[in-house]
Chains A and B, each alone.
Chain A
Amino acid sequence: MKSLTIALNDLRRSFRSTFALLFMFGIPLLVTGMFFVMFGNIKNTDAPVIATTKVALANLDAGNAQTGQLGQTLVDALQSEGLSKLMEVTLVKDSASAREMVVNQQAGVAIIIPANFSDSFSDTQAKVEVEFIQDPTLILGPQVVRSVLNQMLDAYAGIKITVAESLKMAENGNLSYDEISRIVTEYMAATEFSSDSTPLIDLRSPAALPKKNPMVSLVGPIMAGMMIFYAFFTGANTANSILREDEEGTLQRMFTTPTAHTEIMRGKFYSVGLTVIVQVTVLMIAARIIFGIQWGMLASAALTALAIACVAGTFGIMLVSFLKSTKQSGIIFGGALTVTGMLGMVNIFTGNPQSAPLGIVPLFTPQGWATRAILASMDGAAVGTILPSLLIMVAMSIVFFVIGVWRLQSRFA
């Protein structure tokens, strides 16, 4: 149990070091907070940073006897109060006039809801296409409108399934059409399309029905990236205490006590794992409380956190095993952690977690897999879905650990 004594002693010392605390908690939370405030301004100030986009909207939807006027609900949603700062919707009669407004630069975007929009919900085979036309000279505004529209249509896909299911039951005589339209209306109310202020930017998974702050989905990946970057930093910095203690003589002093060398080294390894797991846990809880960031299902988030702690800790141990003295640690940590961190998290920092500007390059770094797992977990993925990423992180951890231990044992034990 002396190994645990050593690990707890290190943890206590980390919590007493301003430097360690700053890098463990301060910077990740501060940077995320900065983005939070920045995005908060976009949403809250009267003079928005993103200019309001003019939208020409043509609703050609003919309606459907069973499902009602679903095209109109989309119109209502786009005209809702909450989106009024982002877009200014002008209703037009037909698709031609909608296009014309874009051509004449009277609108930045034209949206055309097709005639079969409502119909398609009672026909499981039908394909609906909502047309989206944008002024090519504009970049940001139309993109915002498009992403809002995409989110909405994603949710309609959910409705479509609901409706289709309901219809089947109705044919069997279990549900009346009235009930079906009630279900549709309730779903709309639950997702708050037609009603009040919250703009629905993040409703990718219909399972996540509770209201989400839109900023969370912007700030969440940033927080995740910060957490992973500084988890690796903390892993390396804590592992570096092996060298610091060697230079300060306390490691030698431990060796003079009746304690096996392997037990002492084990204690130092525990301390790395323990410190990172405490850091990640505190960061996740703090981010949840301060920014309202959802990390996903408990099991997925917890296992991902554990895997991050493993891979960050062992990566640190391996890095340290290549150092001669702590004098080198600044350069090596700075270089190795920045390069692997940036490569691994490039998808977050380029602003779009879905696209992959560097292809599979991030997956050659442990941070890449950590990012992948945590983003999936935040997206609501079950343990089964992220398990491959977690297993790869564990495999990487084993490799890092074996290399690190092999080099450190031959030096200190």
Chain B
Amino acid sequence: MESAIFVQNLHKTFRNGSSLKAVDGVSFEVAPGEIFSLLGPNGAGKTTTISMLSALLKPDNGATGANDIRIMGRSLITEPLAAKAMIGVVPQDIALYQDLSALENLIFWAKMYGLKGTLLKTRVAEVLDLIGLTDRANDRISKYSGGMKRRVNIGVALLHQPKVIYMDEPTVGIDPQSRRSILDGVIALKNQGMTVLYTTHYMEEAQELSDRIAIMDHGKIIANDSHENLIRLVGQKTRISLSINTEPETMIEPWKACKGVSTIAIEESKINLLVDDSNKVLPRLFETAAAKDVRITSVEIQEPNLETVFLHLTGRALRDA
């Protein structure tokens, strides 16, 4: 079967002052009906990728010049209007007219998607119902809560019943309840047969929603697989995070030498280790520290998850915090 989204060899360098390679050779395919997530820390290049897939940014010619973007078989480069008609884009930042009501916004955007007459009216009513704002339809967007704005922001992208929807961090900065309802909404869309390209830097979201996850870092996709397969990359390893009462650097070398320690990295005064079996490795870490007269002040043990995968692949933590 043909891919819903086919992306090959995208490059994008921003040249303002210094040149920054925001996207560096990204390729992936998403099958129809799949939820595919781009997971990566701030600045990984997720939004830049989505922008190229929405024809908002022109990809640079890659090293081979052979870049391509196809949506449901239509090339975004040679048939942009036909390809864009297949896509609903939910931008990362809310892009609505704050001085208009939700209803007026939806009607305007429906017209921009080419809807007319009764179809326009029924679709606007359906979307209002779907995002649960029928009662508040005539209120101005500026009077809405953050979560309600996010829902309208998503609703706009669903008006023309697209085959493919891009959602760029749709849950940033909202309350848990709104977040839950958005995640449920995404799953409902998948159940209706829609293909979803989702970006996030919350690994829990990627884990819960996605059929497949591409981990992005510094403009590159460094892994692309199902959640289970990604976890398998780190094997049976466990992540241990420790704090000590002195400079973290003091213990890097001694602990690296310990049996069973595979990766060690300092992240914001904490020392993160990937180990084979925490039960066996932990006592050795304590012994080594005691021999050096260093006190361990906190210990955190984490079973393998996407965070561990990211640490394993990059030597850094996924989240800055």
- What residues of chain A have their CB less than 8 Å away from a CB belonging to chain B? 2, 5-6, 9, 12-13, 16-17, 248-250, 252-260
Contacts and interface: CB of A to CB of B under 8 A. Distances in A.
A257 B95 contact: no
Given A249-B94, A253-B156, A256-B87, A5 B55 contact: no
Contacts of B85: 258
B292 interface: no
Nearest to A4: B111
B89 A258 contact: no
Contacts of B95: 248-250, 252-253
A258 B112 CA distance: 7
Interface of B: 54-56, 81-82, 84-85, 87, 89, 91, 93-100, 104, 108-109, 111-114, 156
14 contacts: A2-B114, A6-B112, A9-B97, A9-B108, A12-B104, A13-B100, A249-B95, A253-B91, A253-B95, A254-B112, A256-B55, A256-B89, A257-B84, A258-B81
Contacts of A252: 56, 91, 95
Contacts of B84: 256-258
B99 A257 contact: no
Contacts of B87: 256
B272 to A, nearest CB: 37
A60 to B, nearest CB: 72
B114 A258 contact: yes
A250 B99 contact: no
A258 B113 contact: yes
Contacts of A253: 89, 91, 95, 109, 156
Given A16-B99, A256-B54, A2 B91 contact: no
A2 B116 CA distance: 11
B108 A5 contact: yes
Contacts of B91: 249, 252-253, 256
B255 to A, nearest CB: 47
A260 B81 contact: yes
B99 A2 contact: no
B98 to A, nearest CB: 8
Contacts of B108: 5, 9
B97 A250 contact: yes
A5 B112 contact: yes
Contacts of B98: 248
A409 to B, nearest CB: 15
A13 B55 contact: no
A258 B111 contact: no
Contacts of B99: 13, 16-17
Given A249-B91, A256-B91, 20 more contacts: A2-B111, A2-B114, A5-B108, A5-B112, A6-B112, A249-B94, A250-B95, A252-B91, A252-B95, A253-B89, A253-B109, A256-B55, A256-B87, A257-B109, A257-B112, A258-B82, A258-B84, A258-B113, A259-B81, A259-B112
A257 B113 contact: yes
B96 to A, nearest CB: 7
Contacts of B109: 253, 257
A75 B89 CA distance: 82
Contacts of A260: 81
A324 to B, nearest CB: 12
Contacts of B156: 253
Nearest to B91: A249
Nearest to A13: B99
A402 B265 CA distance: 58
A249 B149 CA distance: 14
Task: Point out which of B56, B91, B97 has the most chain A C-beta atoms below 10 A from its C-beta.
Answer: B97
A17 B98 CA distance: 11
Closest 4 CB pairs of A and B: A249-B95, A258-B85, A256-B89, A253-B95
A370 to B, nearest CB: 30
Nearest to A17: B99
A236 to B, nearest CB: 19
A375 B87 CA distance: 54
A258 B113 CA distance: 6
B112 A255 contact: no
Contacts of A259: 81, 112
Contacts of A13: 97, 99-100
Contacts of A17: 99
A256 to B, nearest CB: 4
Nearest to B82: A258
Contacts of A254: 112
A249 B105 CA distance: 14
A249 B87 CA distance: 17
A345 B108 CA distance: 40
Contacts of A248: 95, 98
Contacts of A249: 91, 93-95
A255 B100 contact: no
Contacts of B97: 9, 13, 250
A5 B113 contact: no
A16 to B, nearest CB: 5
A17 B100 CA distance: 11
Nearest to B53: A256
A12 B91 CA distance: 24
Nearest to B104: A12
A254 B104 CA distance: 15
Nearest to A264: B112
Contacts of A250: 95-97
Task: Point out which of A17, A250, A254, A255 has the most chain B C-beta atoms below 10 A from its C-beta.
Answer: A250
A6 B109 CA distance: 10
Given A12-B100, A13-B100, A16-B99, A2 B81 contact: no
Task: Point out which of A12, A252, A254 has the most chain B C-beta atoms below 10 A from its C-beta.
Answer: A252
Contacts of B82: 258
Given A17-B99, A249-B94, A250-B97, A255 B81 contact: no
A50 B97 CA distance: 54
Contacts of B94: 249
A248 B100 CA distance: 14
A255 B114 contact: no
B237 to A, nearest CB: 41
B56 A2 contact: no
Contacts of A5: 108, 111-112
A249 B85 CA distance: 19
Nearest to B156: A253
Contacts of B113: 257-258
A2 B120 CA distance: 14
B114 A256 contact: no
Nearest to B140: A16
Contacts of A2: 111-112, 114
Given A5-B112, A12-B100, A13-B99, A255 B93 contact: no
